Amino acid sequence: MFLIQKYFKLEVITVVLLIVNLAVTHFLELDTFRLVRLFSLSILIGFYLYRRHVKSVWVIYAFLFFLIRDIAYQFFEVSWGAETYMTFATLGYFLLVLDRVPFFRGTKFSLFAVIFGLLLVVANGTILFELGNIVSNHVNNNLELLLFYLYGVSLITLILTAYYYNHRLNSMRSLLFLMMVFCFVASDIASCLAYYIDLQGLYYLDRTMFILSMALLVNLGLNIKGAAREEVDFISLQE
């Protein structure tokens, strides 16, 4: 047991998964590295469940939604596969938003923070609109396109949440959350461009950011002490 805990650390697992996913992306076909991505996610989820007796319900449900998303990813060319993928990605992102909402109670944002938040919305909304124009020529039906935009809206909402969360607490945990969301964004945009306009090289960025985002989510779920410190800091900010 000691040897398992000594050598099977999150950092080691993450590096191994990165190497495996990049190698598979380089040498094998799309169907294969989709399956490897699913196995990689399953390994990270298993690691999280193994390492903690007390677990965050929010993190468990988020992982469940992302796991269903990646199962559906295996059938992305079929309408129900794409629709299920986007639906559960959206649910996972909104769940992470809801998990951070309690930290916004009584928040008073500066004018700079509000303006910067609006700029984030405009910038990401423009990207979403441009990606929507690309995707609209490839979707199977209008429902799929609607789900794509909802998917994008959930990600923009998560970006704003991560920004204000870090702005409010400015802790190492909030910074890691912000980094995780950045990895979500980079992975989703890269995979969208790689798939819909055949920019194959972007799959390397997609796989890297995907593994890092899931590893950071594991880290957030395992960092119980950091979560407790945040609660104390948040209470002190309200006083």
Quick: pLDDT tens for 70-102: 999 999 989 899 999 999 999 999 999 998 887
Among 11-20, 65-74, 148-157, 169-178, the least confident range: 169-178
At 91 the pLDDT is 96
Q: Please, which pLDDT band fits residue 193 given cuts at 50, 70 and 90?
A: very high
Task: Name the token pair of 108.
Answer: 């008073």
Q: Supply the pTM of this predicted model.
A: 0.89
DSSP character at residue 138: T
Task: Name the token pair of 1.
Answer: 């047991």
- Measured distance CA(65)–CA(85) in Å, rounded: 9
Mean pLDDT of all residues in 25-52: 89
DSSP character at residue 199: -
Q: Which is it for the CA torsion 233, 95, 46, 204, positive or negative?
A: negative
At 205 the pLDDT is 96
At 229 the pLDDT is 73
Percent of residues, the chain, with pLDDT higher than 90? 57
Kindly tell me if the per-residue pLDDT of 184 is higher than 90: yes
At 232 the pLDDT is 65
Q: Which is it for the CA torsion 149, 58, 206, 79, positive or negative?
A: negative
Mean pLDDT of all residues in 174-198: 93
Kindly tell me if the per-residue pLDDT of 4 is higher than 50: no
The 3-state DSSP class for residue 120 equals: helix
Q: What are phi and psi of 139, to 5 degrees?
A: -75, 160
The 3-state DSSP class for residue 137 equals: coil
**Residue with the larger pLDDT of the pair 103 and 139:** 139
At 174 the pLDDT is 87
At 5 the pLDDT is 45
Mean pLDDT of all residues in 188-192: 94
Widest distance between CA atoms in the chain: 57
Among 11-20, 155-164, 170-179, the least confident range: 170-179
- Measured distance CA(91)–CA(65) in Å, rounded: 7
Helix, strand, coil shares, percent, the chain, to 5: 85, 0, 15
Mean pLDDT of all residues in 31-49: 93
Q: Please, which pLDDT band fits residue 6 given cuts at 50, 70 and 90?
A: very low
- Measured distance CA(60)–CA(56) in Å, rounded: 6
